[in-house]
A and B are shown apart, each in its own frame.
Chain A
Amino acid sequence: MSEPRRPLFALTRARVLEFIREPEAVFWVFAFPVIMALVLGFAFRDKAPEKLPVGVTGGASGGAVGGRPLTSPLLRTIPFATVEEGLQGLRTGKIALLVENKEPLIYHFDPTRPDARLARLEVDDAVQRAAGRRDPLRIREEEMHEKGSRYIDFLLPGILGLNLMGTGIWGIGFGIVNARLKKTLKLMTATPMRKSEYLLAQILSRLFFLLLEIAVILAFGVLAFGVPIRGSLGLLLATALLGSLSFAGLGLLVAARAKTLEAASGLMNLVMVPMWLLSGVFFSAERFPNAVQPLIRALPLTALNDALRAVMLEGKGVAAIGSLLLLLAVWGVVTFGVALKIFRWQ
């Protein structure tokens, strides 16, 4: 007989085995974030800015305005036979702006649409220059195409954070509620097992997957999109680890009392959806009003995303993200403590 295993190790091992024998779970942890990054990465990949479609009346003129062709790299002209047809195109979003060819020229557009306002500026600029306007000031333009400032660079750390949250909360929450439903939790409390060891094993089993999870997402980002990792890889891993722990604590708390899978999944959504939206996964959290900023800053996913981006994209060190790491640690410790206190074992 082999030496009996230590309970913490045995519980962790059992949870890991359960998980890897669940093909759907493996898909959600590893394949889903890669697919999401792939889709979003391609949707927002670097390419020439799309030309704005602008309608011009007087179909015979071939798109010329006031007798002169409308030339701009940002515009694409579409001739319309009548004003009526042009307005129809405007209403359906086929064009951003309609130029009515008469004296004076009339611009039809919806000022609440950003593309329409942009088209208005571009069209007017092109028309006035063609008519002979000269600019009094000389300017020089410099375009930026540096890696690390593209959308995919912003997105990838966010997806990493999002995934750590999802797997932490879902993975731990469902495992526990399931064990409670099947009464294995109750049976285990009839053994000399320490309850804190059981909960700790749930968290440790997540950490087992953490390295793989991070490796898959980062490798994908680096290889497929050339996303930079400017800071220390060790610090990046430590940050992800701490984030994972805080979400694991949150997952425990969510599952601490839920009696059914439905109740648990409702609670999980309640916890996760606000963070999906507010915590700067897909766009910067700074876009939200100042009044709610303190709240958003206090969320663990915001802290994790900010810390991951600071290390990956800006190459920041531990001092710069210390307060974020502290916030994550506090979330983890507090949720674990409360969960242990209120946990329903039967």
Chain B
Amino acid sequence: MSVANDRPDSGTGTAILCRGLRKHYDDVRAVDGLDLEIRSGECFGLLGPNGAGKTTTIEILEGLTKPDAGDVSILGRRWGSHERELRARLGVSLQETRFSEKLTVYETLDLFRSLYPRGRDPELLLRDLSLEEKRDARVGKLSGGQRQRLAVACALAGDPEILFLDEPTTGLDPQSRLQLWERFEGFRAAGRTVLLTTHYMEEAERLCDRVAVVDHGKIIAQGTPAELVAGLHAPHIVEFASDPPLSAEDLKALPGVGDCRKRDDRWFVGVASLVDAVPALLSRLERGGSKLVSLSTHRATLEDVFISLTGRELRDE
């Protein structure tokens, strides 16, 4: 994909650059030779199952973890020489941070605001993240979604140029998730850069201009969500159930079939062309005397991309 970003404030072009990143803990190679180039003004997603090395990678880029090998350059600066300058220009939300339960929402945000040389008015941030009603509530009394919104508000307190979000909506209800997505989109729309990790396909598909699929500390695919899906041999998914059910061999015999997987009684079959595969499936069922219980089709998602690349599902790891 060519750079389609012509906003005047999108900076020098490259927000985050890393080459040959490696990090191991004891015997585990958490990050195993990882390269990334993230452009100013884009929302970039690191997508992968738990334990793929996403958090280690993002924490290396945030300057919180030292890599064993590799180069990191953020906004053209290096952590070793420009740490304080970079800290003032970045916003970070860690996976599961618990703020002090004894402070109020406003006090917590005000504290973080004070740590940055310049930044945004805490009152405005509270409004942006729909926390105005909870302004004077103790953090200990907040719901999971409210806490996560507070974490994002704190990450935005210094009016950052790049926002790092590690699993920002994990464990949240759909409404809280939607609220946060809208905030990230607003931030991105202002020409800022977002790097997020997630194992939610919907999140990556909705928010990210580009994603990198990470598995075992390596990037195994990279591109826009549409490019990744289009790159599949079987970009359509046929979802059906029958009585009696068909076997995997029966399905492989159909034209243009890619990955097949079964969840409960339902088959999910990737096919190159619906026009070829669906009639063939129906006639196969009829010949075998099976009754069709349900049938639907949809375009492949990033989830299917991941399964096709690794043979495993993302979230059941």
Instruction: List residues of chain A with CB under 8 Å of any chain B CB.
Output: 1, 4-7, 9-11, 14, 17-18, 21-22, 179, 182-184, 186-193, 346
* Residues in A whose Cβ lies below 8 Å from that of B121: 1
Q: Are B100 and A7 in contact (CB under 8 A)?
A: no
Q: 4 closest Cβ contacts across the A-B interface? A: A10-B114, A190-B92, A192-B87, A182-B98
In Å, the complex CA distance between A22 and B100 comes to 12
- Chain A's closest residue to B64 (CB) is A190
* Given A14-B107, A187-B92, residue A192 in contact with residue B116 (CB < 8 A): yes
- Chain B's closest residue to A346 (CB) is B64
Known: A11-B111, A191-B116. 12 other contacts (CB 8 A): A4-B113, A14-B100, A14-B103, A14-B108, A182-B99, A186-B94, A187-B94, A190-B92, A191-B87, A191-B158, A192-B84, A193-B115
- Chain B's closest residue to A198 (CB) is B115
Q: Are B111 and A14 in contact (CB under 8 A)?
A: yes
Q: Are A17 and B103 in contact (CB under 8 A)?
A: yes
* Residues in A whose Cβ lies below 8 Å from that of B103: 14, 17-18
Of B84, B87, B98, B100, most A-chain CB atoms within 10 Å? B100
* Residues in B whose Cβ lies below 8 Å from that of A7: 114-115
7 A-B residue contacts at CB 8 Å?
Answer: A10-B110, A14-B103, A183-B97, A184-B99, A191-B92, A192-B88, A192-B116
Q: Are B115 and A22 in contact (CB under 8 A)?
A: no
Q: How many A-B residue pairs have CB under 8 A?
A: 78
* Given A1-B123, A182-B97, A192-B116, residue A187 in contact with residue B111 (CB < 8 A): no
In Å, the complex CA distance between A22 and B140 comes to 13
Which B42-66 residues have C-beta < 8 A from chain A? 62-64
Cβ of B33 < 8 Å from any Cβ of A?
Answer: no
Q: Are B115 and A10 in contact (CB under 8 A)?
A: yes
* Residues in A whose Cβ lies below 8 Å from that of B138: 21
In Å, the complex CA distance between A136 and B33 comes to 101
Shortest Cβ distance from A218 into chain B, in angstroms? Answer: 29
* Residues in A whose Cβ lies below 8 Å from that of B116: 191-192
In Å, the complex CA distance between A191 and B98 comes to 16
Q: Are A184 and B115 in contact (CB under 8 A)?
A: no
In Å, the complex CA distance between A7 and B119 comes to 13
* Residues in B whose Cβ lies below 8 Å from that of A187: 92, 94, 97, 154
Shortest Cβ distance from B95 into chain A, in angstroms? Answer: 8
Cβ of B117 < 8 Å from any Cβ of A?
Answer: yes
Q: Are B114 and A6 in contact (CB under 8 A)?
A: yes
Per-residue interface assignment for chain B, residues 96 to 131, with 1 indicating a CB less than 8 Å from any chain A CB and 0 otherwise: 111110110001101111111101011100000000
* Residues in B whose Cβ lies below 8 Å from that of A192: 84, 87-88, 115-117, 158
Contact partner, A184, options B84, B98, B119, Cβ 8 Å: B98
Q: Are A184 and B88 in contact (CB under 8 A)?
A: no
Shortest Cβ distance from A85 into chain B, in angstroms? Answer: 64
Q: Are A18 and B102 in contact (CB under 8 A)?
A: yes
Cβ of B15 < 8 Å from any Cβ of A?
Answer: no
Cβ of B204 < 8 Å from any Cβ of A?
Answer: no
In Å, the complex CA distance between A101 and B93 comes to 88
Contact partner, A188, options B102, B113, B115, Cβ 8 Å: B115
Cβ of B30 < 8 Å from any Cβ of A?
Answer: no
Q: Are B94 and A183 in contact (CB under 8 A)?
A: yes
Cβ of B90 < 8 Å from any Cβ of A?
Answer: yes
In Å, the complex CA distance between A21 and B102 comes to 6
